[in-house]
Amino acid sequence: MTTSPSPTPAVRLTAIEKRFGAVRANRGASLEVRPGEIHALVGENGAGKSTLMKILSGAMPCDGGTIEVGGRDVTGWTTAEAIASGVGMVHQHFMLVPTLTVAENVVLGREPVSVGTFDRARAVREVEQLSEQSGLIVPADRLVADLSVGEAQRVEILKTLYRGARILLLDEPTAVLSPPEVAELWKVLRRVRDGGATIVLITHKLDEVMSVTEQVTVMRQGETVARFATRDTTPEGIAHAMVGRAVDLSVREGRSVGREAGGAPALEVRDLVVRGARVDRAVNGVSFTVAPGEILGIAGVEGNGQTELLEAIAGLRPVAGGRVLLGGADVTTLDVRARGDAGLSHIPEDRHRRGLILEYSIADNLILGQQHHFQRRGVLDGAAIAANAATQIAAYDIRPTDAALPAQALSGGNQQKIVIAREMARPFTALLAAQPTRGVDVGAIEFIHEELRKARDAGKAILLVSAELREVLTLADRVAVMYGGRFVTVLPRREANEEVLGPYMTGAKREDAA
């Protein structure tokens, strides 16, 4: 009896080596992806996943090993050669020009020309046709600056498809998408896959791995340590392979220490009104309290005022009305530094824009906003800064461990760890935690969740905003749903679940609550 030969792999990486100075990012890493499948590449932050994909896409050379695409040895090729061969990478951080239209961004560098000039009408027609064929529906004539995050993600994928990509490399494509946008993206990817494309998906979200992929490759500390058929494994099994130990993925029910003890509010917001970039009232008269020893979680589809609410409380955005009180003291008119000294800590949702200076070292980023506490006779105390960095790098497992490295040299997840380490280490009464585990691996998520619980149990007040409803349900003692700039309900955790909260999140149900 004869058997048909296995199809030539769409991608085969063998014994890939990559160093950045003393850091060995890839250690004999391997990856094999079959044609026409969605293949997950998972691992902890700093495991070498993105580096491996950049090597495959031609963005950087490897120091050893071989790269094969469709059975052809392409080791050492360039980005242009990779694109010409149908390999395209969609990066975690969008690479779009906000002042150009969707069509102009998609065709940028490959503009259709008529009589020696850019043929704008043809560009629009081609992008509209590709949008319809792929299911990535987005108006071709709209400015990218006016798009939602989900629409911008579609434009990034359209750019790659326009260049003829048949092998798509997606780096954390759902990191900033709301649940409905994630569901829509999966429909699109399945449609693209069914059209003959091969997809490699980097993600930390194991529910996504289980729902959308056929195969899983696991990396740890630069090496490939496991490969599974998705149907033959579980989220717990993947997590164990990623971290090297059992990881608690369960959803727990919160408890409210402060409210049970009848404590006075640590954080209070009264009738807060905040203007948005496109709406007059992004936050429309919101009032609430957070007690010492309580986590108040805010659920909701992104874009309903959550960002403006937390930035206004943090002092990053002016308020048009209402008050913010911290420990009973009115801090509405104080600047960011003064609020921090008064006991307010803030994990911002956008680590690049609000949380880090990427060119600064890890050590310097670990004291941002607190430099005045690391001075001696008016001069920065290098020894104290170095000691703080060593402590936080060890406590939060920030990789690489060289405190002198610039933050931009780290993976997105390790950059997030810098922000969380800094904000959790400072003395605070109340913590604003916006998307605290965005882009972070499962082991680090477990650790960060436990640190938030420890802070809560130590009497700290925490206001949590997360696009991950599972995260809100895992951590919160009470759950508020924000829709259209208002709190449309606030429920004890024991009364909150996905079925109950869903109608409030979509606006189908509301009972405006203080």
In a domain, 4, yes or no: no
* Domain boundary residue, one of 426, 460, 480: 426
- Please state, in angstroms and rounded to a whole number, the distance separating the CA atoms of residues 112 and 436: 43
The predicted-structure confidence for 39-97, as pLDDT tens digits, reads as follows 999 998 889 999 999 999 999 999 999 999 999 999 999 999 999 999 999 987 788 99
Q: How many CA atoms lie within 13 A of 358 on its CB side?
A: 9
- pLDDT tens figures, 120-168: 999 999 999 999 988 888 999 999 988 877 788 889 999 999 999 999 9
Q: Which of 426, 441, 470 is the last residue of a domain?
A: 426
Q: Give the tens place of pLDDT for each residue, 495-505.
A: 999 889 988 98
* Predicted confidence (pLDDT) at residue 326 exceeds the cutoff of 90: yes
From the list 18, 79, 85, the residue with the least C-alpha distance to 52 is 18
Would you state the pLDDT for residue 507?
Answer: 86
**Helices marked H in 271-411:** 306-314, 336-341, 362-365, 382-396
Can you give the residue range of the structural domain that contains 397?
A: 361-426
**Burial classification of residue 6, based on how many CB atoms lie within 10 Å of its CB (0-12 exposed, 13-18 middle, 19 or more buried):** exposed
The pLDDT tens digits of the residues spanning 427-451 come to 999 999 999 998 788 888 888 999 9
- 468 and 454 in a single domain? The answer is yes
Q: What is the mean pLDDT of residues 10-39?
A: 95
Residues 334, 441 within the same domain: yes
Pair (390, 493) in one structural domain: no
Per-residue confidence (pLDDT) for residue 260, from 0 to 100: 46
| Same structural domain, 113 and 225 | yes
- Using the structure block, give the residue that is written with the tokens 């700093």: 46
- pLDDT score of 2 more than 50: no
Residue-level pLDDT at 148: 75
| Eight-class DSSP state of 69 | E
Helix or strand or coil: residue 361?
A: strand
pLDDT of 333 strictly over 70? yes
Q: Flag whether 262 is in a domain.
A: yes
Specify if 149 maps to a domain.
yes
The predicted model gives 449-473 an average pLDDT of 93
293 located within any domain: yes
Per-residue pLDDT of 372-386, as tens digits, reads: 999 998 899 999 999
Q: Are residues 190 and 232 in the same domain?
A: yes
Q: What is the mean pLDDT of the chain?
A: 91
Per-residue buried b or exposed e for 425-438, using 16+ beta carbons within 10 Å of the residue's own CB: bbebbbbbbbbbbb
Same domain, 140 and 233: yes
Give pLDDT, residue 1: 46
Which has more pLDDT, 364 or 248?
A: 364
Inter-axis angle of helices 149-162 and 120-134, to 10 degrees?
100
- Of 218, 243, 268, which residue sits at a domain end? 243
Q: Are residues 197 and 218 in the same domain?
A: yes
Cα distance between residue 501 and residue 1, in whole Å: 57
Between 360 and 22, where is the model more confident?
Answer: 360
pLDDT of residue 446: 87
What distance in Å separates the CA atoms of residue 495 and residue 179, rounded to the nearest whole number? 21
pLDDT on residue 214: 96
Confidence of residue 183 (pLDDT cuts 50, 70, 90): confident
Give yes or no: residues 60 and 104 share one domain.
Answer: yes
Q: Does 256 lie in the same domain as 239?
A: no
What is the share, in percent, of the chain residues with pLDDT greater than 70? 95
The domain spanning residue 472 has which CATH number? 3.40.50.300
Into how many domains does the chain fold?
Answer: 3
The answer to whether residues 375 and 490 belong to one domain is no
- Tell how far CA 481 is from the center of its chain: 21
> Which are the contacts of 486, defined by CB distance < 8 A and separation ≥ 6?
284, 285, 286, 305, 510, 512
Compute the distance between CA of residue 258 and CA of residue 465 in angstroms, rounded to an integer.
Answer: 19
Please provide the DSSP assignment of 155-206 as one string: HHHHHHHHTT-SEEEEESTTTT--HHHHHHHHHHHHHHHHTT-EEEEE-S-H
Residues 48 and 137 grouped into a single domain: yes
pLDDT of residue 172: 86
Q: What angle do CA 278, 96, 418 make, to 5 degrees?
A: 85
Query: Mean pLDDT, to the nearest integer, of 202-223?
Result: 93
pLDDT of 5 reads: 53
